[in-house]
Each structure stands twice: as C-alpha cells, then as structure tokens.
Structure 1
Amino acid sequence: MKSKLPKTTLKRSVAFCGLGLMLASGSALADYAPLSIDSPYAFGDWGGSRTQLKNDGVDFQVNYTMESASNFSGGYNHSTTARYTDQWAFGTTLDLEKLLNWNDTQFQTTITSRNGQNLSDYINDPRSGGLSSVQEVWGRGQTWRLTQFWLNKGFFDHAVEVKAGRVTVGEDFDAFQSNFQNLAFGSGQAGNWRGDRWYNWPVSQWGGRVKFSFTPEVFLQVGFYNQTASNYDTGNGFRLDTSHTEGNMVPVELGWQPAFGADKLPGNYRVGMYYSSMKGDNYSSYRDGQYGEQNHAYGGYLLLQQQLTSMDGDNQRGLGVIVQAVMNDHKTSKTDNYQSVSFVWKGPFASRAKDEIGIGAARIHVNDDYGNMLRQTNRDNGVNDYNNPTYLPIQSGSEYDYEIYYNAHLTSWLNLRPNLQYIASPGAVGEVKDAFIGGISANINF
C-alpha cells in the first residue's frame, strides 16, 4: 500500500500545478475572473471566449469529483480508517447544427480518470466482497477511459433521436441526477446490481439507442449494446475493438416527464426491462463443484422521481422524493432485487437557496440460490468455521444502506457535501458488524 503513495502525491501535485499555471494567466480573463463566486467555471470565462465558443457550438467540460470516507465504527476491519478516491472528466460537446449546418445533430466525447482507494474494501469481508459502496465514484477500475464518443441525430422535429458510438447505458436508461455518495442511491441502479451485463459510467461500449418522443412528456427508447468483457478491465479504457464479444444487451424503457400544478413541479417516471444474450452460470444448478446450466440474463427496473412542493413559487426549491426498484432473474444474478426511497429538500433556507439536504434508505437482496451455492461449496471443502481462511462467508438476506447529506453550494463552480452513512449487515454477511461511516465529497467545475 505504501508504494502507491508517491504516485498519488505526484498526480495531485501535477493537477495543482496545472491549476496554478492557468490561474497565472488570469489577467487575460475578463467577463468572469478565475475563482469568481458567480462564475460557472473555476478558471473563469477566458475573457469571454468560453461563452462565445459555447454560443458558436463548442462547449468544454472539465470536472473534478472527490469522495472521502472514514469508518467510525463496525465493519470487518474495526480499526478507524479513511480512504480518498476521485474522478477527473474532460469532455467536449459539439453542436453540429451550428458548426456544420447538420440539422439537430450533436457530438460528445469524454475522457475520464479514476484514482484512489475504496473504504468499502475494509468494511466488507474480503473473502466475499460487498454489495454497495460508500464511495460511488470509486468503482469500475482506477484507470483512464474513453467514456463517451458518440453522435446524436434528431429527426422529424426531434420526435425521433438516434444515438450511436461509444456510450454508457446509464446516461440514457434509468437516469436522473443524484448527490448521494453511497452507490445505492444514485442513477442507473439497474446497472449497479447487474454490473456484469449493464455497464454504467465510466465504462463504455459500442452501441446506441433510438428514442421516440410521442409528446414532450412521453417517450419510448430502445438500446443495443455490445458486450465485450475486456471493456471492463483496467488498462483497456481505450480499447475500441469488439474481440471476444460475449453477447449483446437490449434495454427498453417507457418514460413520462410531467410538470404538475401551477408551479410546474417536475417529475421523472421510468419503467424498463433488459435482456442479455450473454450466458452466465445458473446458481441453482451448482453440483459437485460445478454448474450444470448456463442461461441468458434479464431484468426490470422502476424509477419514480417527483418534486412534491415548491417554495415561494420556485420549483427549483422544495421537497422531492425518489423511489427506485430493480428485479433481476433468479438464475444468473447474485443480487436478485433492490429497493430504495430517498428525499431531497432543495433550497431549505432563503439565504441558502441552492443548498440541499438528502436522506435515503436502500435494501439490496442476495439471491437465495447464490447463498445456497456458497453453503454447498463450504460443505464440499469440509469447512464450517467462519474464522477459517478457506471458508466462504455466506451472503444471505439483505444489506441495508442509509445516508444523510448536506450539499453546500459554495460557489457556482464548487459544491461540498458532508454526509453520514450507516451500513447494516455489510455484504449481507451476518458475521460482519454494522458500520457507521462519515464522508465528504466535492464537485468542482473548471
């Protein structure tokens, strides 16, 4: 572990040196000075050039996200420890209607880099691993990736959209915005509990989707995604071939995005299902140390998001609720179902109109057949003592995750979120003590 510290320190030093060099050129910036409270960018508006470029069809995004978490008590490793992880995202959006006169056409490219360490590795029994993560930005490998490289084209006055290229499933399906640090409360939950089939950000694959908008509020979309397992591997973030293709995944989603009442309270309602032609082990067929069957995978999900109240007629403030559920097949899925409910209060105080408070609870259930497979393996190996290093901890029942956070909107380019989390039955292993976690995350738009 010590050997990683110099590399981490070097990366952060390079990042802050880059920041210093750009701030040193601040005299050339006019409209929004660097570090201005009202500027949407920490580096300012480049003397108005950045806004002009965006108006002309070229929009740059540079975003940094950090998440730190400390184990106050409980978990597999009872000693107090803390871990830090982060993500850089460098993106460019091109409005090709403005640039090339291609009607209703956009191009997006995004490169990401994830670094750091995961506190959940210490909370969960290392022999079994966990289910959720107390630092959602850590997952999918600590490496550079080409996360987005796609073209989106609208037809018939935007009634039909076609997107194709290197894409992530969760940017279109089961999607919404979230500021929770625990993985169990964010967007794309269908992919979090079926990660071997459904690749969320930052892992991309060749694919796309067709979206049909029947009205401004109602849409249906169908996706098609190539499943090449090597896309997931660390070091393959820029691998663009489809060798060793194992199948394809097809999600279908029906969405409704209404606005209720005089204050036009926004809603985001989605129901969907997916099918994967990639085969996996059937846990119920486990006998004599091997699986007797392999099956395709399928599942469904539900997302209900609704702003319930407004404050002083402003629908950007008020209380909202988010309900999520996922159901996966019982043959090939380790986690066969999931549910969560969370509440977000935006603009809780008149003097802090862009702050927010969030609180959520989630349940992640382990497939009974998966737990039975673990029990059978231990019997076959002749071990029944949890403290035996060769014993496979039985993951059975559910893990429960809870979080409360306060998002402080410090500037238009900086948000800071302290949070508290409680993990009951980490990894759904009964022998592991409940964990109490303190965290803090931040988002910076450069």
Structure 2
Amino acid sequence: MKKKSLSEQLAVYFNYLLFFLKRRRVSFIQRKFVLFLLGVSAIAAPLNYVHADPAGVILRSKPPETSASLEDEEEIKVKPHRRTTNLSSALNGGTHLRPYAPASNGMMDNQRTSDIQPFSKDDATQAMKGETHAFGSMPLPIAGGDFAPYLGPGSTYVPAPATWLPRSFPAWMDQETVTGDWGGWRSWLKNRGINIGGRWLMEWNGNVGGGREHAGRYADEEAIFVDLDMQKLFGVHLGTIHYLMTMRQGSNAALNADIPTLDSTMEISGGGTGTPGYDFTRLTRLSWEMLWNKYVRTEIGEMNAETDFEQSSTYWGANLYCQFSNNGICGMPQSIAMNSGYTWYPSASPGGYIKIYPTGNDHWLISTGIYAENSNASAPHNYWNLGLDDAVGAFVPVQLGWHKGGVSDYEGPLQANIKIGAYWDSRWVKDVYSQLPTFAGNAFPTSALMFANPQQNRSPYGVWVQADTMIERDGKDPRRGLSAFGSFTWGDPKNSVAPYFVTLGVVRKGTFRNRPNDTISLGGKILWVSDTLTKWVQDLPQNVCNTHQYGYGGGCYAPHMESALELNYGWRPANWLLIRPNLQFIFGPGGTNRYATATVVGVESGITF
C-alpha cells in the first residue's frame, strides 16, 4: 500500500475536525478536547517517515514512493526471540514471546517503547525495552500476574503446543495460559494481528481484629481484551487498536465502611463495586495507539490516566505496585484520585497522550495528556457511554521520566527509574471543607456538617515523585532478585483531603531455590489528612461532640493520619495461576484514633485465560 504524503495526512486530520464541528453543536470543552487530540496527531504526522516491513520491523526511512527490495528485507533480520512485557502479563498473568519488532503484545501492549528501535541495526540492542519497565502504559491493577519467562542459559521454557489439550498435567501447568493455544488458532490469529485474551481475579478480605466491626467481603473481576495490529492485519504502519471490557461482582466498599478505611484494603476497588451483591460490565478501553517513530508515541480514545501517569514500573514482566492487595499501593498512589479528577481503571472516558523520547531511546521521557473528567464515571449509565456528554472538566498531567537498565530483568544492568510529574484540573471545585462527609459518623456526628460552609475554589493541582530500582539479582539464578520502590504525592491543601501521601515497598522474587517465581512482599502507605479539616473538628462545640455515641465512645476525634502495612506471599503453582494470601494492619482506621489498629487477612487468586 502506498504511504500517504504529509499533505494527505494533514488533510485527513482536518477533514475529521471539520466533520465533527459541522455535524452538531458542541460545547466549549468538547471543542478544546477534540482540537487537542487532533493537534497531537497533526504534530506527529510530519515525523512519520518510518517504513515497516510486513513482519513489523521498523526499517531505515525510505521515500514514500519506494519500498524495500526483497534483498533489503532479507538483509535486516528479525532479532532472536526474547521476552517482552505485555499488559496481559499483568492484567491476566501471561507473557508472550515475539520477534524483536513493533507489534501488538497483549491487552494494552501499547506498542511499548521496548518496540522503539534505532534505525541502525548496530544500535538496535540499546533501545529495546525502555517503556516496558518505566514509561509504558502500566499493567493494569490485578494481582501482579505471572512473570516473563526466563530465556537465558539453562532455561527450560517451551512454548505451548498448537493443540487443544495439553500433553500432560505438568505440560498444562507450564502453559502461559490455562486455555493454551486453542489448537493453534490462538497463535495463528496473533501472528496475523489479532490478539485475544482474558483473565479472572478474585479477592476476599476480612477484618479479624480492631477497627469498628469485624466482617469479610468478596469481589471478583473478569476481563476480555482484543488488540488489532494494523501492520499485521493490513500491511500498513497504522498502530494498534485496543479494546478491553471488564466485569466486576461483589463489594469492597462495605468493608471499607466496616473497618473503616480511607483507602480500600482490596485492589478490586471502584468503578461500581460499592454495593453488596452489585455487578456490572463496562467498557474500560477503546483506543488507537500509534508509534510514529523512535521519538513520538500517541494514543487517543476511551481510556484512563492511571495506565500512563504516576503509574507503576514493570519488573520481571509484572506490575511492581500490584504485588500488593492494598489499593493505596496497587494501581497508583491513591491520593491523586482523592484530590483531583484523575481517571482510574476500570473506568474509561475520552482522553489522549503524547510521549516524546528526546534521545530516541528509553533513557528519557517527556509526556503529557488530557482526559475528560466525569464525576459520574461509576454510574451504570456511563458503563458504555462514549463521548463528552457528562464531561465536567479536563485532567491534564505532565511527566518527566528517567530510566536505566538492561535488556530484561534477568540480564544486564539492574534497572532503575525516576518519574516526576504534575497535574492540573480544569474544574473550579469547592474547597477542602467539602471533603468533611468522608469523616462524618466516625470522627464526628453527621449533624455537625451543618457548621461546614464549603466555598468555591480554584482548580486543583499537585505534583508527584516516584522512584524504583532492582537492588539485587542472584548470581546463581537470575530469575531471583529484590526490587524496591517509593513514591510521594502532594496536592494543593486548599482542595485536597490528603495533601501528603507516601508509599514504600520491597518485593523479593524467588523465595526459595526451587520457587523462582514465588514472591514475598512487604509494603505500606501513609496518608496525612488536611490540617484544615483536623482543626475544624478540634474546634467543634463540645455539646455537638457529646451527641456522637453509636456505642463506640462519645466525643469528636480529629482526623490526622491513616497508615497501612501489608505482608503477602505470592504462590505460583502454574504459570497461569496465582494464589496470594496477605496480612494487613490499618493504623488509625478512618484517619483517627477512635478505633484500635485493624488486622485484616485476605487472599487473592488470578487465572489467565
């Protein structure tokens, strides 16, 4: 297929714009939003002088009217197979092998920067994997998933056979997915640009000591994804179409109220899991992602900010933060969602980002985006709602990233990442006094809210800093190692219920010599409550506080801080199966000293389809 010239590409973009503006009346926010998304594509269009061969390998630039000869294509060989992280590896616990080439790689593979290669064959090795670890779309919140297979010396990894049934029980346990290769159809479809997969995840947590009430709650989630690689499907370098649907059942919000906690102890949190027995099915992603060249990557569509801003890095092919169950850690540091219009998984709203790699490799990243805010994102009528009808503003993040590391976490230099970001929320919102209902009934009687007088305030803003590194890799078995992370998030105190938020954690992969894929993880979070709210409760009249009984002692309890500590063990009896019991302690439940430290026990289990 003949590649469009620059003028033809720009004409297409602006025809889309004119069609949208003429089709119907649009609001100011909608105009700005569409202009931004089309502008991103238009800016990137002049940079799109990359030629791709049918196998998906980016070759040296060629004029639009010429193409690589057969000799050229034979000369530039596909690199040996290696492991790459895909979102299905974190979302559903599987990882896949593929040639060293820009191609779709599972649920929200996002054509990671591991696909970005210099156009020189001699330099191809250095630009292989960067965004896989630090800058790629984050593996979505699940129970950590299974790890990328080790392919180094002594590896016993064997891809699943192209059969409907496994040859033996041990062979079944060694498969990457529980359903295998579907008689060869799965790999056949993937090689032609259609990647299909899914996973199931369940959680049960119970408060067995301390807190307000002792109770247990259950929630589960299923996910189905389809990625369409335009290069493989149609032979044109037009990026990847991502589709993701999620289904959730059960409730964790009830357990949050029982303890109580400001952050959920379960990672299956939000998006509709707020009422016991409640279940929903919703669109989580429908987007178009494009790697224009080794400097620019864009994505637009129905999506959320959680996968690309203040996101976890990827270690051993899995989400580092989601080696934990506590929602204050897994996913992202939670205060950014509490303090702003940050959009989170599994909700979806119109959005887009542009990622720029100034040096053309994985060492540096500058990224920004815009995401429509929807205050009713978890409402049933928005589960499949496309467009900006319910938009109330825009969330605009900016992020600078630095990365170093080897080809994978099994070889080469130990990886390290630093990300610094900031956000701005276009809405004018009420000040921090509007957050007082968060504490009503626990810190003070609900009737005291009559003394609150929230005022309209400026747009929220904040900053964050994240760092993570692999501390050690075992010399005798590179599958085993130790990684650590930390983050700090700040929000404008005038609007933020949690202006300061910290997470810390360490993850050991390879707990014993014969358990190289098991993990033991220790981590926690600290949430500081707004001083303004603390002082407001302290100043409440005594006669108001004396009405606060409920059988747990009278008086008012000024909120200060809530912290949590989690210890868990991730047992992986099969490549597609995770069972992870956890023990959590919630200090200062609900942000006050009213209740004793809560002791929470739980278990997660995930299966990759």
Fold shared by both chains (TM-score > 0.5): yes
**Match of residue 62 from structure 2:** none
Q: CA deviation at 1:283?
A: 2.9
Distance 2:416 2:586 in 1: 29
Q: CA deviation at 1:30?
A: 5.0
Distance 2:555 2:307 in 1: 36
Q: Is residue 2:225 matched to residue 1:91? A: yes
Distance 1:43 1:292 in 2: 56
Q: CA deviation at 1:291?
A: 2.1
2:340–2:425 Cα contact (<8 Å) kept: no
2:518–2:572 Cα contact (<8 Å) kept: yes
Q: CA deviation at 1:244?
A: 3.8
Distance 2:543 2:183 in 1: 69
Q: Is residue 2:408 matched to residue 1:245? A: no
- Could you say if the C-alpha distance between residues 220 and 291 of structure 1 is closer, same or farther in structure 2, counting changes exceeding 3 Å? same
1:395–1:427 Cα contact (<8 Å) kept: no
- Could you say if the C-alpha distance between residues 337 and 223 of structure 1 is closer, same or farther in structure 2, counting changes exceeding 3 Å? same
**Match of residue 276 from structure 1:** 425
**Match of residue 207 from structure 1:** 351
Aligned to 1:238, what secondary structure does the other structure show?
coil
Write the letter of the residue equivalent to 1:103. H
Given the alignment, which residue of 251, 255, 275 partners 1:117? 251
Q: CA deviation at 1:439?
A: 0.8
Q: CA deviation at 1:44?
A: 1.9
Q: CA deviation at 1:93?
A: 1.1
Q: Is residue 2:341 matched to residue 1:197? A: yes
Aligned to 2:604, what secondary structure does the other structure show?
strand
- Could you say if the C-alpha distance between residues 311 and 71 of structure 1 is closer, same or farther in structure 2, counting changes exceeding 3 Å? same
2:323–2:507 Cα contact (<8 Å) kept: no
Alignment of 1:27-426 (within 5 A): 29-30=164-165, 36-77=172-213, 79=214, 81-103=215-237, 105-118=239-252, 119-124=255-260, 130-142=261-273, 143-156=280-293, 158-176=294-312, 177=319, 178-189=322-333, 193-194=337-338, 196-214=340-358, 215-259=361-405, 263-283=412-432, 289-312=452-475, 315-374=478-537, 379=541, 382-387=544-549, 394=557, 396-426=559-589
Structure 2's unaligned 5+ residue stretches are 1-161, 274-279, 313-318, 437-449
Write the letter of the residue equivalent to 2:482. L
1:288–1:380 Cα contact (<8 Å) kept: no
Of 339-348 and 379-388, deviating more is 379-388
Distance 2:172 2:545 in 1: 62
Structure of higher CA gyration radius: 2
Distance 1:374 1:280 in 2: 22
More strand by share: 1
TM-score under structure 2 length normalisation: 0.63
Q: CA deviation at 1:293?
A: 3.2
1:190–1:198 Cα contact (<8 Å) kept: no
- Could you say if the C-alpha distance between residues 141 and 53 of structure 1 is closer, same or farther in structure 2, counting changes exceeding 3 Å? same
Aligned to 1:99, what secondary structure does the other structure show?
helix
- Could you say if the C-alpha distance between residues 333 and 265 of structure 1 is closer, same or farther in structure 2, counting changes exceeding 3 Å? same
**Match of residue 8 from structure 2:** none
1:264–1:315 Cα contact (<8 Å) kept: no
- Could you say if the C-alpha distance between residues 120 and 163 of structure 1 is closer, same or farther in structure 2, counting changes exceeding 3 Å? same
Q: CA deviation at 1:218?
A: 1.2
1:263–1:315 Cα contact (<8 Å) kept: no
Q: CA deviation at 1:348?
A: 2.2
TM-score under structure 1 length normalisation: 0.85
Deviations 1:88-123 (A, max 9, x none): 111111111111223160111101111112222211
1:190–1:301 Cα contact (<8 Å) kept: no
Distance 1:395 1:141 in 2: 30
- Could you say if the C-alpha distance between residues 71 and 288 of structure 1 is closer, same or farther in structure 2, counting changes exceeding 3 Å? closer
Distance 1:190 1:253 in 2: 17
1:298–1:328 Cα contact (<8 Å) kept: yes
Distance 1:405 1:234 in 2: 34
1:86–1:138 Cα contact (<8 Å) kept: no
Distance 1:315 1:191 in 2: 35
2:336–2:491 Cα contact (<8 Å) kept: no
Write the letter of the residue equivalent to 2:592. V
1:33–1:45 Cα contact (<8 Å) kept: no
Distance 2:558 2:299 in 1: 39
**Match of residue 607 from structure 2:** 444
Percent identity, please: 25
- Could you say if the C-alpha distance between residues 354 and 338 of structure 1 is closer, same or farther in structure 2, counting changes exceeding 3 Å? same
Distance 1:193 1:61 in 2: 29
**Match of residue 16 from structure 1:** none
Distance 1:66 1:148 in 2: 21
Distance 1:182 1:284 in 2: 27
1:32–1:39 Cα contact (<8 Å) kept: no
Deviations 1:281-330 (A, max 9, x none): 11369995422332210111111111110012655421110101110110
Distance 2:462 2:479 in 1: 34
Write the letter of the residue equivalent to 2:502. Q
- Could you say if the C-alpha distance between residues 443 and 268 of structure 1 is closer, same or farther in structure 2, counting changes exceeding 3 Å? farther
Deviations 1:8-54 (A, max 9, x none): xxxxxxxxxxxxxxxxxxx9705678991111111221011112211
Aligned to 2:460, what secondary structure does the other structure show?
strand
2:396–2:424 Cα contact (<8 Å) kept: yes
**Match of residue 435 from structure 1:** 598
Structure 1's unaligned 5+ residue stretches are 1-26, 125-129
Distance 1:393 1:82 in 2: 27
- Could you say if the C-alpha distance between residues 64 and 195 of structure 1 is closer, same or farther in structure 2, counting changes exceeding 3 Å? farther
1:115–1:138 Cα contact (<8 Å) kept: no
- Could you say if the C-alpha distance between residues 279 and 393 of structure 1 is closer, same or farther in structure 2, counting changes exceeding 3 Å? farther
Of 255-264 and 405-414, deviating more is 255-264
Of 253-262 and 98-107, deviating more is 253-262
Write the letter of the residue equivalent to 1:404. L
Write the letter of the residue equivalent to 1:304. A
Q: CA deviation at 1:247?
A: 1.1
- Could you say if the C-alpha distance between residues 235 and 245 of structure 1 is closer, same or farther in structure 2, counting changes exceeding 3 Å? closer
1:110–1:149 Cα contact (<8 Å) kept: yes
Aligned to 2:388, what secondary structure does the other structure show?
coil
